[in-house]
Amino acid sequence: MKLAIAGTGYVGLVTGTCFAEMGHHVTCVDIDQEKVANLHDGILPIYEPGLRQLVLRNVEDARLAFTTSLAEAMVDAEVIFIAVGTPPGEDGSADLGYVLAVAREIGANMDEYKIVVTKSTVPVGTADKVKAAVSEALASRGDEIPFDVVSNPEFLKEGAAVEDFMKPDRIVVGVESDRAKQSMRELYKDFSRNHDRILFMGVRDAEMTKYASNSMLATKISFMNEVATICDQVGVDVEQVRLGIGSDSRIGYSFIYPGCGYGGSCFPKDVRALIHTARANGVKPTLLHAVHQRNEDQKHVLFQKVVDRFGEDLSGRVFGIWGIAFKPGTDDIREAPAQVLIEALLEAGATVKAYDPEAAESAQREFPAEWFDSGKVTLSRNQYEALEDVDALALVTEWKPFRHPDFNAMKGMMKTPIVFDGRNQYDPVALKEEGFEYCGIGRR
């Protein structure tokens, strides 16, 4: 098939590239000329393992192209994906401005039947608004051209997005017509050859499924973080509790690792958006609000542990930070717990040496310039440079290189061998035998 993808961010670029890898001809569209030029040169706006190689190969094989013209991309395209941003408003609502702008442009340039697919994460009822926007644009031209609007939410984990797209657990497709259903089945058939992974449902059902899925995962994380907080107060090792409850097949081991909070572009935004949807429709979102609040509180847990050890005045103290991205495998620092910790340390008078394998450029771009200009924050070239003459290490993101560091070398670099383990990566007993003070999340 020939496809057009509006948006070359995380979702759009992965979607377009993976479809091209399966033999489809894809044109990705972005209004940012510099970004499009960079993509032609193999410079990607995001870090995602394996993605750059796929982009380069499919561009070379003429299956993947980039342009700033949606009208150009739409020529002969059977399916048009809307994969633009939906930034959250102050009240948690999703801003549909970009989505509807694309819908209007589709209506202004449509010359034959098209399937318009919302791939962006959008609230229930968005497909109706997209349909209205396309219809209004057609009406302003005096045209009546048939089209379908489909909801096809993404379920991609940052750091494993290519694998998730190529080998999905499920493919959720919300449709209203048999014509759209057959086309979407044909498009996705090669992604479910082993067994049928396509779940067809109503459009609004598909929209809700995305929010409910992410909110459920966020709920498991926040629940376990609250349990860890209780464990801290009653002298219980939360790791043993995790193993005990995870062995129950009704619960399972996934998403019950306690830590210093979740971040990124999905869970925080989607939980807030579902809270907004609930309130807008007269439902009191008691559980969802608790999930969100627990996560906001959890991002301050590491700093509180630092204060408990060193006191509230951290003037003259230096802390090493391992991990800036909100999770390993990405350079995304949106709503990352590391930023909350660094900000709190600076306010208490400390300075910070931070290292992340991929997110240094993102931090340099997104963190306040004053942090770097004042010398309060230094981005280290490697994980050990971030430990030179520090009072303690805080592990915030569980990148693989951090799992088995050289503890003997670390002791020689640090003023005091203290580890605040924000992801419970280390065995407290083993670390203490190495001569370190240890403080984890629900572990001591």
The residues carrying an active-site annotation are: 266
Helix 337-347 to helix 301-310 angle (10° resolution) is: 30
- What is the Cα–Cα distance from 440 to 426, expressed in whole angstroms? 8
Other C-beta atoms lying within 10 Å of the C-beta of residue 134: 25
Q: In whole angstroms, what separates CA 386 from the centre of its chain?
A: 26
Burial of 193: CB neighbours in 10 Å, binned 0-12, 13-18, 19+ = exposed
* Residue 423 exposed, middle or buried by CB count within 10 Å (0-12, 13-18, 19+): buried
Question: Which whole-number Å values give the CA distances from 202 to 205, 210, 271, in the listed order?
Answer: 5, 13, 22
Residue environment code for 346-359, b if the CB has 16+ CB neighbours within 10 A, otherwise e: bebebbbbbbbbbb
Sheet of 318-322, strand order: 377-379, 351-355, 318-322, 392-395, 418-421, 437-439
